[in-house]
Amino acid sequence: MSNHDERNYSPWQSYYGPNLGYVQEQYERFLTDPTSVESTVRELFERFGAPPAVSMGAVPTSKPSEQQAASSAAAPGPIDSNMLKKVVAAHQLMLNIRRYGHLAADIDPLGFSPAADTKLLEPETFGLTQADLASIPASLIWDNAPASISNGWEAINRLREIYTRSAAYEFTHIHDENERNWLHKQAESGSFPAPLSARERSALLERLMEVEYFENFLHRTFVGQKRFSIEGVDMLVPVLDEIVRAVAHDGANHILMGMAHRGRLNVLTHVLGKPYEKIFSEFHHAPNKELIPSEGSMGLNYGWTGDVKYHLGADRAIKEGETIRANLTLANNPSHLEFVNPVVEGFTRAAQEDRSKPGMPKQDPSKAVTICVHGDAAFIGEGIVAETLNFNKLQGYHNGGTLHIIANNRLGFTTNSIDSRSTHYASDLAKGFDIPIVHVNADEPEACLAAVRLACEYRLRYNKGFVIDLIGYRRFGHNEMDDPEVTQPLMYTKVRNHPTVSVLYADQLKGEKAITEDQIEELRQRTNGKLQAAYDAMKAKEGQPQIRGEQRKSVIPTGEEARTAVPLETLREINLELLNRPEGFTEYTKLQRILQRRASALNDGEKIDWAHAEALAFATILADGTPIRLSGQDSERGTFAHRHIMLNDNANAAKFSPLHMLPQAKASFAVHNSPLSETAVLGFEYGYNVFAPETFVIWEAQYGDFANVAQVIFDQFISAGRAKWSQKSGITILLPHGYEGQGPEHSSARLERFLQLSADNNWTVANLTTSAQYFHLLRKQASLLGTEQVRPLVLMAPKSLIRNPRVASHGVDLSEGSFKPVLPQFSLTEPKDQKDKVKRLLLCTGKVAVDIEEALASSNAEDFDWLRVARVEQLYPFAHAEIERIVKQFDKLEEIVWVQEEPQNMGSWSFMEPRLRALAPKKAAVRYVGRPDRSSTASGHQEVHAAEQKWILSTALNGKPVESLIRG
């Protein structure tokens, strides 16, 4: 049938009797609601109009409409009355091929997977024969059918070819119809992406040889050394090359990559441009150690200051002539596999945002792109992946689409896929986040690059992520010293006899007469020659003094104290601006009354509470030109309904922050309520701060103990990143902490864990007791950003103390002074005869210090001249000089007592005890008052908590010597 005949053909003439009545009924439904009828029937109505004797739902007349008459005149004759059902069935078959074609696709290089059930792809399942399909115009089945496809049989065969070859598409889960149709159109187009040119094919073959021969050279030259080779998914390097080329061409200034150790050395040298000679030197001068765990991550290798070779990152400027087109960064990553994902997401968001102007930062997703390379077992197995994928559309975290590559070798160390996931594919997790997926055979180089071009075009068009499931194998064991045949004997029988991808592609090009054997041999010789020349150059320098990896000083020098006080008049001006509202803004009446109390808080005799001090600190930091980003699960309002830094219009729910209208502000302010995630969000904020070190980044836990969930980020990145990778961060962590009888999960932020990680001046750990201290410490932290002195700040934030009047400070405390690591609750200049009466010095931190103050105030009739109290506000770095100065005030001191509300095996005691003993006078005992050792952080019974707290205070304030639980 010609295209002209097909356009004028109408199927309605073949319907009569009950069948015609059914079609008429469907058309009436179509007129009322087009979506209420089957899509294929809807297409028939849209294409051919009303069936006979039906016109806009009216009673049929004996006289046909002009349209029907025209259709009748054009109709070639009646067709089988079952044609409509066959068209519907054929259309369903087409949809099934789109949806399930991947099950029959050639995406397994080893042919190791069991054959899938593909009945849903067969015409017979739908009662269709070849003749049936051949009698249906192609356009009724396939809307993207090319002109060369004339009927349904040809259409179905062509679609099966498209969807079952070496690239398998999963797009039908995409919710947006426009996106889904675009994706199918590109997959089904014969012209997208354009085939590789002869030059591109030759370059691709050479790149595959470079990848393979680099691994071979390391394997035979540095026998027994681990490298976690790329072999089996060699195409990862050309895939990354193509992404870098495409996104740089589309205008990205920054390309931020995260990946685990598999193939990392190959990516470092070929994608990041690290010279062969340097790689060889690091192997040559590294001790050949038999280390466990498998990563061999104990000790240092020369040339690297704090981590093994395959954990470290690199940077590269991608140039075109003398112009830098883009900066490529591979993030440092520990062996905790996928935990780098949120970090590089944070890098990218920071690179996309302009923070130089007041208000919310301005984001341009085209400025930076994230690439995450995943392992197949880790992608589905590590919960951090799901947390990070959830950033896809979130206002505070989206980045215009991450390009995900699963380097799928179908093994997790020694674990088979059947034991490591419950899903059909490793990539199935991404379906829940509306992300398109292409599975591609890693032994089909051109199909891999076609998948990349589709992914990059999709991201550019829709600003959304994409997953490329690069399915290959692993040529050796988990590392090159491991024997995989112990656990995968059948798989490795196949692997041993399976040619490498460079051999397969060379044979393909040779068979297509696109290259000759001589040209292939020339490429081999050139590639091996470069490797040998680099090795020879490295060996030639062996007699010269080795420039070994510099052991950089991990202790951060202390700079001059920044001025954190702000003149009172400036504070008053800013304070009034914070109370301004946009015209027409309807403020919640109750909240308005609360916030308006702040208007007079800087007057003589008035006080500034915790949240007010924070708002003033933020405002003055912005006035200094430092941008701020604050995030947490309830950070806009504050977990304890105290902050209200983002207000909601009570009439229309529009959001507004006073810090966005602040005239004094010289930089942006962002606050985001985060998803219910700790690990990914904290990793994101850490990455944001590392990439944008001038930005004051704050992460707030809803309750301090929720930080437990993010322990890997604390252990591997925040506490150790500087020592391992020279990676500086000034991130601030707010962890609500304090014993108020709320039970085990809402009392302790596990202060002891942060103190246990404290060394080399790696961060500041503080537990404050006044709003002025908080004000000064925030401003001090902001002043250190971008300097050599910067380090993270871990703050045990208050809960009940937020509204405790004893914590509130006078305005003059903000306009004068600075942050004090220790606050003595007495005068250091008191008379000598008063000091000689002192027998006991109580040292404490945080809420219990305020409890002691209240207890002393309520016992003012008693004589406490034998007692002095000092609050240790900064726990780490340990304030040795300040505490020693206090201790030396009292010549007759008999006891230094550490008082805490946490159990003895938690809190600060284990950290403080040896340090206090080191500075205590010989005649003074160092003792402990607090709860005994416990397995749980706190009692879940209010009456038990109250009794324990009362005992702690009475014991600390009793004039009799403390019976220490630990002998002094």
DSSP 314-361: EEEEEEETTEEEEEEEE----SSGGGHHHHHHHHHHHHHEE-SSSSSP
Average pLDDT value over all residues in the chain? 88
Q: Which amino acid is at 311?
A: H
Residue 586: partners with Cβ closer than 8 Å, 6 or more residues away? 649, 650, 651, 652
% of the chain residues with pLDDT over 70: 88
User: What are 409-438's pLDDT values in tens digits?
Assistant: 999 999 989 889 999 999 999 999 999 999
Q: Tell whether the model's pLDDT for residue 318 goes beyond 80.
A: no
Cα(714)–Cα(728) distance, rounded to whole angstroms?
14
pLDDT of residue 321: 59
Asked whether the beta carbons of 402 and 465 are under 8 A apart, the reply is yes
- Cβ-proximal residues to 740 (8 Å cutoff; 6+ apart), any chain: 747, 799, 800, 847, 945
Average pLDDT over residues 758-779: 97
Coil, strand or helix: which one is 846?
A: coil
Question: Over the stretch 945-958, which tens digit does the pLDDT of each residue have?
Answer: 999 999 999 999 99
| Residue 870, both tokens | 């000092």
Q: Check whether 288 has a pLDDT greater than 70.
A: no
End-to-end Cα distance, the chain: 102
Residue 708 per-residue DSSP state: G
What tens digit of pLDDT does each residue of 108-147 get?
999 988 888 999 999 999 999 999 999 999 988 998 899 8
Q: For residues 783 and 82, which has the higher predicted lDDT (pLDDT)?
A: 783
For residue 561, pLDDT beyond 90: no
- Average pLDDT, stretch 843-861? 90
Core vs surface per residue 900-917: b (16+ CB within 10 A) or e: bbbbbebbbbebbbebbe
Between the CA of residue 819 and those of 100, 589, 957, what are the distances in Å? Answer: 64, 36, 28
Identity of residue 729: S
Rounded to whole angstroms, the Cα distance separating 807 from 809 reads 6
Distance in angstroms (rounded) separating the CA atoms of residues 910 and 368: 45
The mean pLDDT of 93-118, rounded to a whole number, is 93
Section 381-406 average pLDDT: 96
pLDDT tens-digit series, residues 661-704: 999 999 999 999 999 999 999 999 999 999 999 999 999 999 98
Cβ-proximal residues to 878 (8 Å cutoff; 6+ apart), any chain: 912, 915
Residue (of 84, 90, 91, 92) closest to 48 by Cα position: 84
Distances (CA, A) of 216 to 379, 409, 564, 873: 28, 19, 58, 57
More confident residue, 61 or 944: 944
Residue 552 banded pLDDT, cuts 50, 70, 90? very low
| Inter-residue contact 450 to 443 (CB < 8 Å) | no
Biggest distance spanned by C-alpha atoms of the chain: 121
Confidence of residue 934 (pLDDT cuts 50, 70, 90): very high
> What is the pLDDT confidence band of residue 2, given thresholds at 50, 70 and 90?
very low
Q: Is 599 exposed, middle or buried (0-12, 13-18, 19+ CB in 10 A)?
A: middle
pLDDT at 525: 96
Tokens describing residue 698: 């704050």
Beta strands in 768-888 (DSSP E): 793-797, 822-824, 840-844, 867-872, 874-876
Q: How far apart are CA 597 and CA 62, in angstroms?
A: 82
Q: Is the pLDDT of residue 907 over 50?
A: yes
- Do you find a cis peptide bond into 663, omega within 30 degrees of 0? no
Q: Distance (Å, rounded) from C-alpha 793 to C-alpha 781?
A: 7
pLDDT reported for residue 309:
55
pLDDT reported for residue 763? 97
DSSP assignment of 491-557: HHHHHHTPPPHHHHHHHHHHHTTSS-HHHHHHHHHHHHHHHHHHHHHHHHTTTSPP-PPP----SPP
Residues 6 or more apart whose Cβ sits within 8 Å of residue 860 = none
Which residues, 6+ apart, have CB-to-CB distance to 474 below 8 Å? 231, 232, 233, 409, 410, 411, 484, 495
Looking at residue 98, its pLDDT comes to 96
Q: Is residue 4's pLDDT more than 70?
A: no
Collapsing DSSP to helix, strand or coil, 639 comes out as coil
pLDDT at 84: 83
The pLDDT value given to residue 312: 61
- pLDDT at residue number 317: 78
Q: Fill in the amino acid letter for 683.
A: G
pLDDT at 939 (0 to 100): 93
pLDDT over 70 (residue 320): no
Give the pLDDT confidence score for residue 302 in this predicted structure.
31
Q: Is 657 helix (H, G, I), strand (E, B) or coil?
A: coil
Cis peptide before 193 (omega within 30 of 0): yes
Dig out the tokens for 167 from the structure.
Answer: 């690239």
| Distances 136 to 24, 75, 91, 146, 160 between C-alpha atoms, Å | 22, 15, 10, 15, 17
Q: Helix (H, G, I), strand (E, B), or coil: what is residue 603?
A: coil
- pLDDT surpasses 50 at 6: no
Dihedral (CA of 31, 33, 38, 43) sign: positive
Distance of CA 367 to the CA centre of its chain: 18
Between 180-184, 323-327, 595-599, 653-657, the lowest mean confidence (pLDDT) is in 323-327
Q: Could you tell me the pTM of the whole model?
A: 0.88
Distance CA 930, CA 949 (A): 8
What average pLDDT score do residues 551-580 get?
Answer: 78
The answer to whether 636 touches 671, Cβ cutoff 8 Å, is yes
pLDDT at position 297: 37
Whether the predicted pLDDT of 441 surpasses 60: yes
Q: Which token pair is 219?
A: 């394997």
Three-class DSSP category at 50: coil
Q: How far is CA 492 from CA 110, 295, 415, in A?
A: 10, 22, 14
**Owner of token pair 């305005």:** 811
Reading the block at residue 394, the tokens are 């979130």
- 806: pLDDT strictly greater than 50: yes
Structure-block tokens of residue 544: 């010269």
Return the ∠ at Cα 359 (arms to 357 and 361), rounded to 5°.
70
Residue 232 is given by DSSP the state: T
- Bigger pLDDT: 106 or 193? 106
Q: Which two tokens stand for residue 359?
A: 């208000």
Give the gyration radius of the chain's Cα atoms. 35
For residue 183 the two structure tokens come to 């994706």
pLDDT of residue 17: 55
Using the predicted structure, report yes or no on whether residue 79 has a pLDDT greater than 70. Answer: no
Share of the chain above pLDDT 90, in %: 73
| pLDDT tops 90 at residue 860 | no
Whole-number Cα distances in Å, 288 to 231, 285, 298, 481: 22, 9, 12, 12
pLDDT class of 285 with cuts at 50, 70, 90:
low
**pLDDT number for residue 962:** 78
- 417 sits in which H/E element: helix 417-420
pLDDT at 553 over 50: no
Instruction: Say what the pLDDT of residue 112 is.
Output: 85
Q: How many C-beta atoms surround the C-beta of residue 274 within 10 A? A: 18
Residue keyed to tokens 């194998």: 473
Cis previous bond, 358, omega within 30 = no
Strands of 552-615, DSSP E: none
